Each structure stands twice: as structure tokens, then as C-alpha cells.
Amino acid sequence: MKRILTVPLSGLYAFGVGLRHMLYDEHVFRTTEVNIPTICVGNIAVGGTGKTPHVEYLINLLSKQYKVAVLSRGYKRATKGFVMADAQSTAQSIGDEAMQLYLKFPEVCVAVCENRIRGIHQIQAMRPDVDVVILDDAFQHRALKCGYNIVLTRYDRLYADDHMLPWGSLRDLKKRILKANAVVVTHCPEQMQPIEKRVVGNHLHLPPYIRLYFSKFRYGTPYRTGRPLVVAGIANPQYLMDYVNRHYQGAEIMAFGDHHAFTPAELKQIEQRAKDFDFIITTEKDFVRLQATDLYNRMAERIEAIAIEMDLDEDAADFDKQVLNYVHENHLKCRSHNS
């Protein structure tokens, strides 16, 4: 019965998305190109592909040579318009992911704005030293013509096998993948064999101009001993739970929705349940939201945030080269144009 209802709704959703793209393709809606290198980390599915660790990878890669800015919409923040992260920022004012990036990379300009073009212009006005802007989740933002598009898709739910909302998790048409410069298959197995990569590559059947990469996640090493309670408000907590179970006995999880805003009642439940455990493990994204609560004030010494990093293995050298070449060439063009 559910499929009978969702399939036609999925078709209607696809029609609406396709109509919007047609209006942009026919120049009914305007697309703007900015005079600064821009790299988009996005997807065509809803949530859970691992955009933030890939953004962090790009920050580490690019900040060695360039002044980097990160711009996102600030999902589920309590503010509107353009906001640049500063010492007074919180997860409520700029969003949990932007706050996480600001705390980890204080030398990087982190800003949020629903309108990416306006956001980039504001960054250029306030920070004219910025050389490149990383856009978090802007692949569907057709009003901006991004310079380099990196599209993520999960290994266990490839876009090629998925369906449009609400039947599946796709929020954009599969053919939009052809606008990518690179596709990264995320959440790959720890020991992925070359033959498995070839099978995935053949299945996705990407044109030669789109580079295909495979990434996996590495969690930081826990430093506490005992029995942990895992508190996770992320799209796919199973990977975190699998990791915790490899290091601890008797761990249990309290799972919430992605970007969840903890209510006073939920915080009380967490505190009560934590009495049966030695400490709390949470993600960096959840940690920045918990920091603004009374629970954190009472239990800070018992809360441990587990860091997560993206690993490209043997793909890293080529991925780095492609990204750096794009930024170098377009940075020179933009500098020449601006002068």
C-alpha cells in the first residue's frame, strides 16, 4: 500500500524538479558565476552521505596554500540571512555543522547564508583575502554556477539504485550527476578490493570526464575506559555504533534525528540514562549542540566527542591533484580579472 501511494508522488516530485532544471537550462531563471574559485560538496540524496568530513578534508588540503572560506545554509539554525561565525556564535545561530567547522578551523572563514551568491559576495566584501570558497551542500543551488562540483553517494545506497522522494531518498534527478566534476562513493568497506571498485564503476557508468573516487571514514581513538552511552543525532548512527562496539562492551545508544535540537525533556532522559554508564560518547556535530545546554554544564567531564575523518586511500593523490589544479588555474584567472 505504501508503495502504491509513494510511486505516483515520486513521479510528481520528479516532474517538479525536472521543470525547475528546464527553466534554468532555458535561461528563464538566471544563473550567476562569481569571480572566485568555488568548490561544491553536495549530493542528490537527502542526508547521510558524509559531506562534513569531506569538507574538512578540502579545508586541510587547500589551507596549506590558500585562504579558505566555507559557506553553507546553516541547516536548522535559528537565524536568517548572512551570518559569519565569530566568538559569539553557537550551533543555534549558525547551525551545528558550521559551528563544528568554526571550532576545528579557527583560521578559516566560516559563514552561513541561504542565498549562496549573496553569501559569497558578503565574504568577499568582509574578507577580501579569501582565495577559494567551499560550498557545503549547494549542488541543487542552480542560481550559482559553481566552478568544481564534488557529488557524494553512499556505497550501500548508490544513487543509481535509488528513487526520487518520497519513494526513495533522491532529491534530484539521476541525470544531474552529469554536471559533477567528481563523484565520491562514501562509507566504503574498510578493505575494499579493486574488483569491487570496478563493479561499482561499471554500475554507475559515468562518462570519462567525471572522476570516480572511493572514500571511507576513520573515527578517532577513544581515550576513556568503561561502558559508554552513545548519544547520536545524525542521519546514520549505525556506523558510529559499530565502531563503538569494536572498542567497548555493553554500549547502548540513544538515537535522535539528524541535526536534532535536544528538548529539556530529552536532556533529562539522557542525564538519567547516563547514570547507568561510565561516560557519554557523541559525535562532534552533536557535541556542539550539547555544549549550549545545561546538561553539558553539569556533565562536561563525562562527555567525549569522537572525531571522524575521510580517507581516500590510493585515490587521494589524484583527488588532491584535480582539486588543486582547478583552484590554481581559476585563482590566477580571477586575480587577473580583478586587477
pLDDT in tens, 210-249: 999 999 998 887 788 999 999 999 888 888 899 899 989 9
Q: Which residues contact 109 (CB under 8 A, 6 or more apart)?
A: 67, 68, 69, 70, 84, 85, 123, 127, 130
The domain tally of the chain equals: 2
Asked if 108 contacts 134 with a C-beta cutoff of 8 angstroms, the reply is: no
Domain shared by 294 and 326, yes or no: no
Tell me the residue ranges of DSSP E strands in 109-162. Answer: 109-112, 132-136, 148-154
Q: What is the pLDDT of residue 334?
A: 77
β-bridge mates for residue 144, sequence order = 32
Residue 85 in any domain: the answer is no
Residue 290 in any domain: the answer is yes
In the chain, pLDDT over 70 holds for what percent of residues?
97
Q: Is the pTM of this model over 0.85?
A: yes
* Mean pLDDT estimate for the chain: 94
Give Dmax (Cα) for the chain.
64
Mean pLDDT on 69-78: 95
Q: Which long-range contacts (CB under 8 A, 24 or more apart) does 101-109 make?
A: 101/52, 101/55, 101/56, 101/59, 101/70, 103/288, 104/56, 104/284, 105/56, 105/59, 105/63, 105/70, 107/63, 108/59, 108/63, 108/68, 108/69, 108/70, 109/67, 109/68, 109/69, 109/70, 109/84, 109/85
Domain shared by 229 and 198, yes or no: no
Domain shared by 212 and 226, yes or no: no
In the block, cell 572560506 appears at 69
Q: What is the pLDDT of residue 239?
A: 84
- 85-143: pLDDT as tens digits: 999 999 999 999 999 999 999 999 999 999 999 999 999 999 999 999 999 999 999 99
Residue 191 in any domain: the answer is yes
CATH number (domain holding residue 242): 3.40.50
State the DSSP code for 165.
T
- Ranking 3-7, 55-59, 254-258 by mean pLDDT, the lowest is 3-7
Q: What is the pLDDT of residue 83?
A: 98
Q: What is the pLDDT of residue 339?
A: 54
Domain shared by 212 and 252, yes or no: no
Domain shared by 192 and 329, yes or no: yes
- If we measure between CA atoms, which residue out of 327, 109, 62 comes closest to residue 335? 327
Mean pLDDT on 13-19: 97
Residue 101 in any domain: the answer is no
Domain shared by 149 and 241, yes or no: no
Q: 260 is in which domain, residue-wise? A: 221-306
Q: What is the pLDDT of residue 278?
A: 96
Residue 105 in any domain: the answer is no
In the block, cell 527553466 appears at 23
C-alpha cell at position 247: 572498542
What is the DSSP pairing of strand 182-186 with strand 211-214?
A: parallel
Residue 331 in any domain: the answer is yes
Q: Which residues contact 166 (CB under 8 A, 6 or more apart)?
A: 6, 9, 10, 13
CA–CA dist 282, 286 (Å, integer)? 6
- 164-198: pLDDT as tens digits: 999 999 999 999 999 999 999 999 998 899 999 99
Domain shared by 52 and 152, yes or no: yes
CA–CA dist 36, 295 (Å, integer)? 42
Within the chain, residue ranges assigned H as helices are 2-25, 51-62, 91-94, 96-104, 116-126, 194-204, 238-247, 264-274, 284-290, 294-299, 316-338
Q: What is the pLDDT of residue 113?
A: 98
Q: What is the pLDDT of residue 221?
A: 79
Domain shared by 265 and 291, yes or no: yes
Asked if 17 contacts 172 with a C-beta cutoff of 8 angstroms, the reply is: yes
Q: What is the pLDDT of residue 235?
A: 84
C-alpha cell at position 242: 559499530
Indicate the SS3 state at residue 254.
strand
CA–CA dist 87, 300 (Å, integer)? 20
Domain shared by 162 and 301, yes or no: no
C-alpha cell at position 218: 576513520
Domain shared by 300 and 328, yes or no: no
State the DSSP code for 237.
T
Domain shared by 239 and 285, yes or no: yes
CA–CA dist 175, 177 (Å, integer)? 5
- 308-338: pLDDT as tens digits: 999 998 999 999 999 999 999 998 777 666 6
Q: What is the pLDDT of residue 184?
A: 98
Domain shared by 150 and 200, yes or no: yes
| Preceding omega of 166 cis (within 30 degrees of 0) | yes
